[in-house]
A and B are shown apart, each in its own frame.
Chain A
């Protein structure tokens, strides 16, 4: 018998074999497709000479730096807006006016102001990450069980303690979810900036392979980016379960 977990792999493996045989049969010559064996060989070569690893490092540096900066700004504003309703109403129009701007549309301005390189990419990623974290942490704070707020009033906790001991821990599982969402966005935006213009990272790597008419290397990069995104999310899910395992049993289905 085939083990349960291996069954999920059956279909992809079969598809790869069929693709390989098909490419062989028609002697595939293409600028956009390559047989799986050629893609695998290109990937091994790119890992071996280190080019794809350096590109991964560059992309992840930009994505994480942007995520941290944008996340911190979004979190601070989200919590403040969730606590102070007056502040929320004052900022509402401003936020709703800025938020719909696609982050990538900032590229021309960022390029003039900051030039090529990490800084420009980090700024754009940070802009993209602010919004999901701001909106979701504001909702998380607004959705805290009102009874807990009453408990903090009855105990006369200081405002700082109220935020530190009640509001942040109560909202944390949902804030972490927002962080996971933003991490995915950070990677997407970083790679997009690189594909569009910035000559560093995985996005630039995929563009270079395309211009060099190397579909095998281009597709190798594509698979690699998918794997990086998958590992990033898996790592965050593991961290989430580890952090909130037992304590999150009640109160927050997320």
Chain B
């Protein structure tokens, strides 16, 4: 009851869900990766998935993206079944170095998403400038990915995803390969970008603190096969702050709860 009220408080919009899994099971090569997962992500929600390596976090994200089809149950987006990837769902991959086109400049990489959406060539340049400015790369339009740092490449990938004007942004451990300073900076930038665009976010990470810091809701998956083991609602005040939020007693309590859950199966 209390949970329902809180949910209504943090999401004043309609109660329909944007991305919904109902009893989703996925088997790959005879092995069950994910079993009976049901979840619903509301429009505009920042939804985090955590879990140990190999628990099916990334697989769940790929199901939401339409890159995999479930072997049982259904995945829906805005009430319609996801049978293939959609242009209004953007995916930020962890391995930015592989997801960017090495033969295109930063501007060219952003352009790819605009070309895919059928934006006229005359309008692309202005849109590209705006997007690169948004992610803090306004002076790097002519650089190739290989000439940029890891953090810059990941910003570039985010810019390409924003070029799709996504309703939902699916992020697969986007900062996993970055150093701690870059990572914190990008966390805050992503929060600001998402706030400005009203996009729904599913964010996969193995960093529990990152999940609590960013999310409205965090689920933890238990491994073999992947199932939902814990669900936490994060009611920390926004905008979040790297120091104040992380020192908040509620943050510490949530962190303890999540750590205990992740540690549990190892006993």
Contacts and interface: CB of A to CB of B under 8 A. Distances in A.
Contact of B103 (A145, A147, A247): A247
Given A147-B99, A248-B102, A154 B85 contact: yes
B102 A250 contact: yes
Contacts of B147: 246, 249
A156 B99 contact: no
Contacts of B164: 155
Interface stretch (A58-66, A113-121, A161-169, A189-197): A161-169
Contact of B90 (A154, A170, A246): A154
B142 to A, nearest CB: 10
B67 A148 contact: no
A153 B144 CA distance: 23
Contacts of B113: 155
Q: How large is the interface on A (under 10, 10 to 19, 20 to 34, 35 or more residues)?
A: 20 to 34
A165 B101 CA distance: 9
A15 to B, nearest CB: 44
Interface residues of B, number: 27
Nearest to B111: A165
Among A154, A246, A248, the one with the most B-chain Cβ atoms within 10 Å of its Cβ is A154
A156 B86 CA distance: 7
A251 B101 CA distance: 9
Where chain A touches its partner, the secondary structure class is: helix
Interface string A49-62: 00000000000000
Interface string B132-169: 00000000000011110000000000000000100000
Given A153-B85, A247-B144, A249-B146, A166 B101 contact: yes
Contact of A147 (B86, B93, B145): B93
B65 A155 contact: no
Interface of B: 65, 67, 84-87, 89-91, 93, 95, 97-99, 101-104, 112-113, 115-116, 144-147, 164
Given A151-B99, A248-B102, 10 more contacts: A147-B95, A150-B67, A155-B116, A156-B86, A170-B101, A244-B103, A246-B146, A247-B103, A249-B144, A249-B147
13 contacts: A145-B98, A147-B93, A150-B67, A150-B91, A151-B93, A153-B85, A154-B91, A156-B85, A156-B86, A156-B116, A169-B101, A246-B144, A247-B102
- Chain A to chain B: the 4 pairs with minimum beta-carbon distance, closest first: A249-B146, A155-B116, A247-B103, A147-B98
